[in-house]
Amino acid sequence: MKRREFLLKSVGAGVAGLLFSDFGGLNAMGLSASEGEYDLAAVRGGEAPDMFEKAMEALGGMKRFVKPGQKVLVKPNIGWDVPPERAANTNPELVAKIISSCFDAGASEVVVFDHTCDQWERCYRNSQIESSARKAGAKVVPGNSESFYREVPVPGRRLKQTKVHRDLLEADVFINVPVLKHHGSTTVSLSMKNLMGVIWDRRYYHGNDLSQCIADFLTYRKPDLNIVDGYRMLTRKGPRGVSEADVVGLKALIAGRDIVAVDAAATLMFGEKPQNIKHISIADEMGLGTMNLENLSIKRIKM
On whether the pTM is more than 0.85, the answer is yes
Contact 245, 194 (CB under 8 A): no
Q: Where are the domains positioned within the chain? A: 3-302
Between CA 69 and CA 65 the distance in angstroms is 12
- What pLDDT is attached to residue 4? 53
Q: What is the architecture of the domain spanning 3-302?
A: 3-Layer(aba) Sandwich (3.40)
Which 8-state DSSP code applies to residue 138? P
Q: With a cut of 70, list the residues of the chain below it in pLDDT.
A: 1-21
pLDDT digits (tens, 9 = 90+) for 199-217: 999 999 999 999 999 999 9
- What pLDDT is attached to residue 9? 47
- What pLDDT is attached to residue 5? 53
- What pLDDT is attached to residue 193? 98
- Counting residues of the chain whose pLDDT is more than 70, the rounded percentage is 92
Contact 202, 149 (CB under 8 A): no
- What pLDDT is attached to residue 3? 54
- What pLDDT is attached to residue 182? 96
| Those residues with Cβ within 8 angstroms of residue 151's Cβ, 6 or more apart along the chain or in another chain | 161, 162, 163, 164
C-alpha distance from residue 119 to each of 93, 115, 130, 145 (Å): 22, 10, 14, 12
- What pLDDT is attached to residue 17? 43
- What pLDDT is attached to residue 30? 78
Between CA 303 and CA 48 the distance in angstroms is 11
pLDDT digits (tens, 9 = 90+) for 110-138: 999 999 999 999 999 999 999 999 999 99
C-alpha distance from residue 9 to each of 88, 231, 232, 269 (Å): 19, 20, 17, 17
- What pLDDT is attached to residue 105? 98
- What pLDDT is attached to residue 2? 55
